[in-house]
Amino acid sequence: MAEETETKMTFADLGLEEKVLKALDDMGFEEPSPIQEQTIPMLLNGKDVIGQAQTGTGKTAAFGAPIVQRWDPKVRGIQALVLAPTRELAIQVAEELSKIGKYARIKTIAIYGGQSIDRQIRSLRFGVDVVIGTPGRIMDHMRRGTLNLSEVRMVVLDEADEMLDMGFVDDIEFILKETPATRQTLLFSATMPDEIKRLGSRYMKEPHHIAASPQQLTVPQIEQFFYEVRPAFKTDALCRVLDMENVERAICFCRTKKGVDELVEALQTRGYLAEGIHGDMNQAQRNRVMSKFKEGNVELLVATDVAARGLDIQDVTHVFNFDVPQDPESYVHRIGRTGRAGRAGTAVTFTSAREFGQLRLIERVTKTRIQRKPLPSVMDVAEKQREQLKERLVKVMDDGQLAFYKEVADELLDEYDAEILLAAALKMLSGEAKAPTAPSVDFGDTGAEAGMVRLFLNVGRQQLIQPADVVRSIASQTGIPGNVIGLINIYDRFTFVEVPKDVAAQVVQAMQDATIKGRSVNIEPAKRR
């Protein structure tokens, strides 16, 4: 098959040097995304580039790696300026750039409105190499004379179409005019309205246009759907789906090696038979994992695209995309792993809000529809597990050959109540089964009323928390109905909330990455004094 013989570019092939390569490797990147492959060599050559690509296609590293490599340690002052539409994006880009610049020891700073300008002025005085900012706040600093752009050699307009939509065009032009005319200018945008083309022709030098526009692709006829989930909630979401669907053998794709390692660890901790495979593993390690998978001792193989390429894996019931792949071709390769040899398969993609555009692009290019599905709630999963337990018991009954056990049953029935006996037998039976999503933990006496567990939340009146905030957060995070949540007591710095015993562990687990009123919270069983 084509996918097995295809040769892919490496980051080194693009002309990147050791200090950048090492940083990208630490970040878990195995190979360049299409937009990176096309832009990095040009940027390293000092060309102006207009890059068109959807969100989630790796544009930050596409300009970040060249910024780091072209940075001159002998020059003091800001050498690169990145303009981004929002504070969140500015922070994200700054974080990614400081990771890429780790070995070059590049200092980055994000500058945006809403943060104390005095603090920003102080950090700027301290000396920084790369500034990432929103246009408005960058202009403020320029007017105050607190931002010296005389050493700037690269200017990046990131998400240019969004900046224009937000009315930043005058600010952008002002900033471009005030930076040295010798600068290299890069513009990234998901769409190319005329206004962007005009900016390009006015302020850029013979810009190269790069569009990561893939050719038409055909996808295999398999069921495809997606769940929209927050990034921090993806692991839980995957577990719920694994519990709900009849997953026998599945591959789950992650974007990075790090992502693979983290997910495998999380899944193993929760009792799933998962193993990872990626480029940092030697051949012996990979062979070991693959034979376990083929023998059925592993239900879920977690892999990077690179590691999965060329693997001959048959009879996969599900392909999971833990991250939306960076290009439609990878999507098609990935999901082609399931439904082989005429068997039905399912492809499931976990999509964060930011990855949405990329998913839509995949739909367009592949001319398929990827159906949205609501995530199963904790209650759905519990219900499903009940059903499965009943089914297993009934199946054993149907299989017969129970003579020996019938005798034992008669003896027991002489002495005990039938309902309680059956319940105990079921408990024994489910003990042998795979550990449930969140094991039902005995929290001991937490001081709650009977059948409930009292949980401690580290926010309270001082954080302006109201009962409704607590209910909403727990309900949306776990899928349990708000009306089963019990007593809520809000104190100055903390809150007690009671939840039913059988969901307490799930609530604690699901709330690990929750926020209430924008604050991340800590939740744990209360201790009886």
Binding residues for ligand ADP, rule: CB under 6 A, are 29, 32-33, 36, 53, 55-61, 96, 255-256
Burial of 177 (0-12, 13-18, 19+ CB in 10 A): exposed
Supply the minimum distance, in Å, between the C-beta of residue 124 and ligand ADP.
25
Which of the listed partners (ligand ADP, Mg ion, none) does 234 bind, with a CB threshold of 5 to 8 Å by partner kind? none
258/286 with CB nearer ligand ADP:
258
61/523 with CB nearer ligand ADP:
61
CB of 526 closer than 8 Å to CB of 447: yes
Supply the minimum distance, in Å, between the C-beta of residue 13 and Mg ion.
23
Supply the minimum distance, in Å, between the C-beta of residue 477 and ligand ADP.
23
Give the pair of three-digit tokens for residue 170.
Answer: 């005058």
Which of the listed partners (Mg ion, ligand ADP, none) does 58 bind, with a CB threshold of 5 to 8 Å by partner kind? ligand ADP
30/171 with CB nearer ligand ADP:
30
57/69 with CB nearer ligand ADP:
57
Q: At 395, which amino acid appears?
A: K
Supply the minimum distance, in Å, between the C-beta of residue 346 and ligand ADP.
24
- DSSP states along 338-393: BSGGG---EEEEEE-GGGHHHHHHHHHHHT---EE-PPPPHHHHHHHHHHHHHHHH
Which of the listed partners (ligand ADP, Mg ion, none) does 255 bind, with a CB threshold of 5 to 8 Å by partner kind? ligand ADP
DSSP annotation of 271 reads T
Supply the minimum distance, in Å, between the C-beta of residue 93 and Mg ion.
7
51/525 with CB nearer ligand ADP:
51
56/345 with CB nearer ligand ADP:
56
29/226 with CB nearer ligand ADP:
29
Supply the minimum distance, in Å, between the C-beta of residue 417 and ligand ADP.
57
User: In whole angstroms, what is the distance from residue 337 CA to residue 346 CA?
Assistant: 10
Which of the listed partners (Mg ion, ligand ADP, none) does 29 bind, with a CB threshold of 5 to 8 Å by partner kind? ligand ADP
- C-alpha atoms less than 13 angstroms from C-alpha of 406 in its C-beta half-sphere: 6
* Closest residue to bound Mg ion by CB: 59
Which of the listed partners (ligand ADP, Mg ion, none) does 325 bind, with a CB threshold of 5 to 8 Å by partner kind? none
Binding residues for Mg ion (CB under 5 A): 59
Sign of CA dihedral 440, 445, 451, 454: negative
CB of 495 closer than 8 Å to CB of 457: yes
Supply the minimum distance, in Å, between the C-beta of residue 325 and ligand ADP.
10
Which of the listed partners (ligand ADP, Mg ion, none) does 61 bind, with a CB threshold of 5 to 8 Å by partner kind? ligand ADP
Taken as a whole, the chain contains a residue count of: 529
User: In whole angstroms, what is the distance from residue 130 CA to residue 78 CA?
Assistant: 6
- CA-to-CA separations, 255 to 219, 259, 313, 331, 461, in angstroms, rounded: 20, 7, 19, 12, 41
